[in-house]
A and B are shown apart, each in its own frame.
Chain A
Amino acid sequence: MQEELFTSGRNIPNIDPSLEIWHWPISVYLFLGGLAAGLLLFAAVVTILGKDKDYPTTVKYASMLPPVALSLGLMALVYDLTHPLYTWQLYTTIRLESPMSWGAWVLLVTTPLSFLWVFSYYSELFPKWNLKFDFLKKFEQFLKKNRKNMAYALVPLSIILGVYTGILLSAFNARPLWNNAILGPLFLTSGLSTGAATIILLAKSAKERHLFSKIDLALIIIELGLIVHMIMGMYAGSEVQLDAMNLLIGGEFTLMFFGFVVILGLIVPGILEALEIKGYKIPVAVPAILILIGGLIFRFVMVEAGQITRYLY
Chain B
Amino acid sequence: MGPLIPNGFIPFEWSSIIAIVIGIFFGFILEASGFSSSRKLAGVFYGYDFAVLKVFFTAAITSLIGLFYMDYLGYVDMSSLYVHPTYLWGAIIGGAIMGIGFVTGGFCPGTSLSAVAIGKIDAIVNVLGIMVGIFIFSELYTLFEPLYNGYFQGNVTLVDSLGINKYWFVFILTVVAIIMFAASDMIRKRVKKVFY
- Consider the complex of A and B and state whether they touch directly, i.e. have CB atoms less than 8 Å apart: yes
A interface residues with partner B (beta carbon < 8 Å) = 250-252, 254-255, 258-259, 263-264, 268
> Which of A252, A258, A264 has the largest count of B CB atoms less than 10 A from its CB?
A258
**B21 contacts A by Cβ under 8 Å:** yes
A269 to chain B, nearest CB (A): 13
**B13 contacts A by Cβ under 8 Å:** yes
A304 to chain B, nearest CB (A): 16
State A263–B24 Cα separation when bound (angstroms): 11
Contact A254 B14 (CB under 8 A): yes
Cross-chain pair count, CB within 8 angstroms = 22
State A293–B75 Cα separation when bound (angstroms): 39
- The residues of B that contact A264 with a CB separation of less than 8 Å are 20
Instruction: Number of B interface residues at 8 Å Cβ cutoff, please give it.
Output: 8
Query: When A and B form their complex, which 5 residue pairs have the shortest distance between CB atoms, in order from nearest?
Result: A254-B13, A259-B17, A250-B11, A255-B16, A258-B17
B interface residues with partner A (beta carbon < 8 Å) = 11, 13-14, 16-17, 20-21, 24
Residue in B13, B16, B17, B24 whose beta carbon sits within 8 Å of that of A251 in the complex: B13
| Interface SS of chain B | helix
State A252–B13 Cα separation when bound (angstroms): 7
Contact A263 B17 (CB under 8 A): yes
- The residues of A that contact B17 with a CB separation of less than 8 Å are 254-255, 258-259, 263
Q: From A248, which residue of chain B is reached at the shortest CB distance? A: B13
Residue in B11, B13, B20 whose beta carbon sits within 8 Å of that of A263 in the complex: B20
Contact A259 B11 (CB under 8 A): no
- The residues of A that contact B20 with a CB separation of less than 8 Å are 259, 263-264
Q: From B21, which residue of chain A is reached at the shortest CB distance? A: A263
State A258–B15 Cα separation when bound (angstroms): 11
